Amino acid sequence: MLKPMAVAAMGGLSLGIFVALFLLPCLYLVFTREKATSPEAFQPCIPEKATLREATAERF
pTM of this prediction exceeds 0.75: no
Burial 3-36 (b: 16+ CB within 10 A, else e): eeeeeeeeeeeeeeeeeeeeeeeeeeeeeeeeee
Which pLDDT does position 60 carry in this prediction? Answer: 56
Greater model confidence, 8 or 58:
8
Which pLDDT does position 16 carry in this prediction? Answer: 96
Which pLDDT does position 26 carry in this prediction? Answer: 93
**Does pLDDT of 49 surpass 60?**
no
**Does pLDDT of 23 surpass 90?**
yes
**Mean pLDDT confidence for 22-35:** 86
